[in-house]
A and B are shown apart, each in its own frame.
Chain A
Amino acid sequence: MLKIDNLHVRVAGKEILKGLTLAVGAGEVHAIMGPNGAGKSTLGNVLAGREGYEVSAGTIEYKGRNLLDLEPEQRAAEGVFLAFQYPVEIPGVNNTYFLKAALNAQRKHRGQPELDSMQFLKLVREKLRVLHIPDDLMNRAVNAGFSGGEKKRNEIFQMALLEPQLAILDETDSGLDIDALKMVADGVNAMRDPARAFVVITHYQRLLEYIVPDFVHVLVDGRIVESGDRSLALKLEEHGYAWIADRRLAGAA
């Protein structure tokens, strides 16, 4: 589904990703772990098409197409979803209105009929129930005045509603208490599907106790330096990222 090859990305003139290679197949859950500043969020932003991220070398292929040719909204319509590390507050824009416009824009792009208000609300109620999100969240402005946990849950709710094929979760666990974390994990697990892939970017192993990944990758200084199964995450938890750095030094020597 997603093939990233030797990706180099510069942000404000500084090289952040330095030859990242990663392949994600349909139905798989990949966890990307790494210390602060390794380039984890850059990866998420590049995949979603944020401006200011200059790809200086390498390729990203998504469903057989060059992802970098697509505008952010085209990527969304093609099934790419980024759950933001810092969801943006948009005062004055109603959550329901925004999500209906977004979903219908995607459906239009895909040649599907747009949903009317009744159909949309029915879908919203279904998804809200699964995620245990209060109804009143829908009547408020997008993320405005939401607590940290509410914002992250709103991201997962948006994901549930938009039903992407490739979902990238950028530190969705940060700032969550254990109950909210479980709720987020339940939301993700309910969406696991042979046709859908997840890239879960996280700093801590904790989330991976609830969202069990098929693969764990360690991103250090713009490259994936270690890949393995979920036991890699446990080792990292035990030894810290310094352990990876030491192993690399040892390997180099």
Chain B
Amino acid sequence: MHGLPTAALQGPRDVSLDLLAELGAGDAREREESWRYSKGALRALSQQEFLPATALPLPAPLQAQLERTTTRGRRLVFINGSYAASDSDISALGGEILIQHGAGNEVAITFSGADAEPLHLVYASVPGNAATRWRATCRVELRDGRATIIEQHLGAPGADVLGSLRSDVAVAANAHLCIASVSDVPNSVSLYRRTDVAVAAAASLVSTHATFGGRLQRLDFDVDLGGERARLESNGSFVLRGREHADMHLQVRHRTRDTQSAVLWRGVAHERARGIFHGGITVAAGADGADARLSNKNLLLSAQAEIDTQPVLEIYADEVKAAHGATVGQLDPTALFYLRSRGLSAETARNLLIAGFCRETFAAVGNELRAQLESLLLQRLPQEVTE
């Protein structure tokens, strides 16, 4: 464990070794490398004592946040990782969805057959009296047809909470899965999410990740395009302020012929926030006809904000189409002037540009969720857009 200070190795409560061993993928060296932009944030967490979280009632403000018309009767709520039957409502679930709860906060969801309506998974981080941590596992299998999952992370302010969710997702041949993941948590909440998706032949995954807030939010999103003509569309954004820290790691593996990936991510950081985007795409030998596109653009709104972007393209096949671009910049003064010259105030012009910058990544979600994302985004901007 090179690179970590010796102080981190002392004291019985110091769990930094455990955290690094636990969070992330690969061997020790790979973990060390993949956490390098968030080492300080991880160290701070590891120097804190977290007690196991217990089942707590869902605070009223959070209840209001998870209501949505399109998922009425199709909602599973997990509080600090444990399934909360009384807050869930599964009255409208059809026979094509099988849900099994296992030990250790594990849930297994199997879709077999076409299903038009989304399934809503809510993970609430509810603070106790002291700092607490929870862990949960979610397995999803889509055997046939189409399915949509809305994964929502929210939290109540209070004592610190560290949550980790491990998801394993399998999309069978010819099936189509949409995942929309919205995380909007207070600064007392740290969230580690590791999602591994296997996409079989002629199957597709369309994912949207929208990330707001949090002390440390880390996502390891690993997509294996293992079947011929498997396809991924990954859209994502983070909007951070204060001292919020988000570290988004994507890894896409093109393992067979004619696989496609399109990655479109946007990041916005203001005040002293810190954002990281890592987009790794590997095209294995023999995966000819692969088409891999990655676009990552980032906006810094203050001199103290920082965003690091790392597109990493590794190609071992011969006939491959690949395009990637990553930028970190500021608002375009010409665009600002253009909007102001039409009568918009400097503030409105600025917020319109920022919202427009992120909006592209919301294109794949349903109307109700898109409206919610827009409103979350506007709340996070320096001042609200006045209409």
Q: Report which A residues bind B (CB closer than 8 A).
A: 48-52, 71-73, 75-77, 81-82, 84, 87-88, 90-93, 98-99, 101-103, 105-106, 109, 141, 158, 162
Contacts and interface: CB of A to CB of B under 8 A. Distances in A.
22 contacts: A49-B337, A50-B341, A52-B333, A72-B340, A73-B346, A76-B340, A88-B335, A90-B338, A90-B352, A90-B356, A91-B357, A92-B355, A92-B358, A93-B352, A93-B353, A99-B342, A101-B348, A102-B342, A102-B343, A105-B348, A106-B343, A158-B342
B342 A50 contact: no
A98 B387 CA distance: 10
Contacts of A101: 344, 348, 352, 387
Contacts of B332: 88
B360 to A, nearest CB: 5
B91 interface: no
Q: Which 8 residue pairs are nearest across A and B when measured between Cβ atoms?
A: A92-B356, A92-B359, A93-B356, A76-B343, A106-B343, A102-B342, A72-B340, A88-B338
Given A50-B337, A51-B333, A102 B344 contact: yes
B83 to A, nearest CB: 38
A102 B340 CA distance: 8
Given A101-B387, A141-B356, A90 B342 contact: no
Nearest to B357: A92
Interface of B: 332-335, 337-346, 348-349, 352-353, 355-360, 387
Nearest to B355: A92
Nearest to A110: B343
Contact of A90 (B341, B346, B353, B358): B353
Contact of B337 (A51, A91, A109): A51
A105 B332 CA distance: 21
Contact of A71 (B339, B342, B346, B355): B346
Please report whether the interface of chain B is mostly helix, strand, loop or mixed according to DSSP. helix
A66 B355 CA distance: 34
Contacts of B338: 84, 87-88, 90
A75 B337 CA distance: 12
B357 to A, nearest CB: 6
B383 to A, nearest CB: 15
Contacts of B335: 88, 90
Given A72-B337, A90-B335, A92-B358, A103 B343 contact: yes
A141 B333 CA distance: 18
Given A51-B333, A92-B357, A92-B360, A162 B341 contact: no
A76 B338 CA distance: 11
A73 B343 contact: yes
Contacts of A49: 337, 340-341
Contacts of A103: 343
Given A93-B359, A101-B344, A109-B343, 18 more contacts: A48-B337, A49-B341, A50-B341, A72-B337, A75-B341, A84-B341, A88-B332, A90-B356, A92-B355, A98-B339, A98-B352, A99-B342, A101-B348, A102-B342, A102-B344, A105-B345, A158-B342, A162-B342
Contacts of B358: 92
Contacts of B334: 88
A98 B346 CA distance: 14
Contacts of B349: 73
Contacts of B337: 48-51, 72
Contacts of A76: 340-343
- B339, B346, B355 pick with most chain A CB within 10 angstroms: B339
